[in-house]
Amino acid sequence: MSASSASAREVVISGLGVVSPIGIGIEPFWNSLASGKSGVARSEFFPGVASPDCVGGEVKDFTDEAARKIYLKELRKSLKAMCREIQLGVASAMLALKHAELNLDTVDHERLGIEFGANLMLSAPDILASAADACCGENHSKPFAFEDWGPKGLPRMEPLWLLRYLPNMPACHISITTDARGPTNSLTMDDASGNIVIGEAMRILLRGSADMMITGCTGTTLHPIKTLHMALFGDLASTPAEPEKRCRPFDLHRAGRVVGEGACTLLLEDRAHAERRGARIWGKVLGTGATCVSDKTGTPQFRKALASAMASALQAAGLRPDQIGHVNAHGLGTQAIDIAESQAIHDVFGADLGRKIPVTAPKSYLGNSGAGSGTLELAASVIGLQHGLIPPTLNYDTPDPACPLNVVRGEPLATSNKVVLSVNVTRFGQASATVVEAI
């Protein structure tokens, strides 16, 4: 393919599938964003999680029954090989294809690909308990004996255990269901995954290796083991008492991150292909950027990483900072990372514009689902901009002088500029960003 023909291609969003703590599907999701309805509450499905007061952003509408009878009805025989994270991701992909009105009987399956992100998936303690007990002697009379795992422990594991927790399995199930035979990849980049899979899918489409890419992420930090890890990090919010007020990005009184779960898939498509099949186009992907920055001791440098990722995305999009309508922030709600993100926005946009450009932080509704966050948060902006609105940030009551940003709060903010820069960063200092123009 020639450089000129590659540059003539455009990558558009022709479908969105949302599975979130504030609603499943576009309309419930947007209604919650527009009305300021939080999805953070006390967990009903995971009563043993280690988050303070068992609080998190839980997809309460995604029950086992709903998965079997509604969202994964056609895949119900495969549910036994899917942990909850996988189910959320596959359900979001099916919703995206339905939203895109894609007839799988008419597509060229050799040119349908998948880019999907996920967290590393962990078994719940009860899954491992019986096998672990078998290696500890009768009545736990001895320490865990590794040499007993093969002959005594492993036979007690469920036969499909490994398949239920592999992070490449969302892409696997989606590819089998859709008969996607094009480029397929799985990424595990934690919070940075969403923008990175979009970038990978975009480049596949631009070089003409596919016509459509099912592009999404699933993730959870609302998990018995993962919340324990988060608790050991020491930055889980325990105040205020009301769960829905726990996640407070950029607020002076923010107390830490809030765990969550969720998934979102975008159907990315070559524009000419989308137009030929009469698809509605929701947005155009203009550019992405990613970087990882740490010092010589391995300490993450969040400010530099975030600034570099945003600058790279702008450069790839061929845009100046003053052409961006708003920033969809990582907005984790921790002291250090919120300050670093604020500083990075000023580094990229300058002191004056850095104070003026609208900023929204969807984690205030959703909590942090790790890999699931990036695509969900971008979807909040893309959907909002269809209404000419930027979603507000919840719980931003007292501005922090250390984070001098124009955080949208209260009501959605009307805007005529439909270009959004969305950014995320991991606790290891890997940052990613995407620029999208809503249509």
User: Domains in the chain, start-ordered, CATH in brackets?
Assistant: 10-122+165-438 (3.40.47.10), 127-152 (no CATH)
Task: Please provide the distance, in angstroms rounded to a whole number, between the alpha carbons at the two ends of the chain.
Answer: 28
pLDDT at 4: 42
Q: 111 pLDDT exceeds 60? A: yes
How confident is the model at residue 3, as a pLDDT?
Answer: 41
Burial class (CB in 10 A: 0-12, 13-18, 19+), 233: exposed
Task: Tell me the pLDDT of the chain averaged across its residues.
Answer: 96
Q: Is 74 exposed, middle or buried (0-12, 13-18, 19+ CB in 10 A)?
A: exposed
- Confidence class for position 340, pLDDT limits 50, 70, 90: very high
Nearest to 206 by CA among 162, 151, 272: 272
53: pLDDT strictly greater than 50: yes
> Looking at 23-32, 77-86, 132-141, 180-189, which range is the least confident one?
132-141
CB 341 within 8 A of CB 359: no
Q: Is the peptide bond before 240 cis (omega within 30 degrees of 0)?
A: yes
The DSSP output letter for 171 is H
pLDDT of 436 reads 98
pLDDT for 373 beyond 50 = yes
pLDDT of residue 170: 98
**Residue 371 pLDDT > 60:** yes
Tell me if 133 sits within 8 A of 125, measured CB to CB.
Answer: no
> Looking at residues 107-124, what average pLDDT do you find?
96
| Burial bucket for residue 18 (CB in 10 Å: 0-12, 13-18, 19+) | buried
The yes-or-no verdict on residue 65 having pLDDT over 60 is: yes
- The total number of residues written for the chain in this structure: 439
At 138 the pLDDT is: 83
Read off the pLDDT of residues 67-105 as tens digits, 9 standing for 90 and up.
999 999 999 999 999 999 999 999 999 999 999 999 999
Instruction: Return the half-sphere exposure (C-beta side, CA atoms, 13 A cut-off) of residue 340.
Output: 24
Transcribe 310-361 into DSSP letters: HHHHHHHHT--GGG--EEE------HHHHHHHHHHHHHHHHHHHHHHSEEE-
Which two tokens mark 338?
Answer: 């919120």
At 7 the pLDDT is 57
Burial class (CB in 10 A: 0-12, 13-18, 19+), 398: exposed
**pLDDT at site 122:** 92
pLDDT of res. 152? 94
Higher pLDDT, 216 or 123: 216
pLDDT at residue 2 in the model: 40
For the chain, what percent of residues have pLDDT higher than 90?
91
pLDDT beyond 50 at 416: yes
Residue 234 has pLDDT above 90, yes or no: no
Stretch 327-344: mean pLDDT: 98
pLDDT at 1 over 70: no
Give 130-150 pLDDT, tens digit per residue: 999 999 988 888 899 999 999
The string of pLDDT tens digits covering residues 288-305 is 999 999 999 999 999 999
Of the listed ranges 228-232, 379-383, 400-404, the least confidently predicted one is 228-232
- Helical pair 373-386 and 193-206, crossing angle rounded to 10 deg: 70
Is residue 427 helix, strand or coil? coil
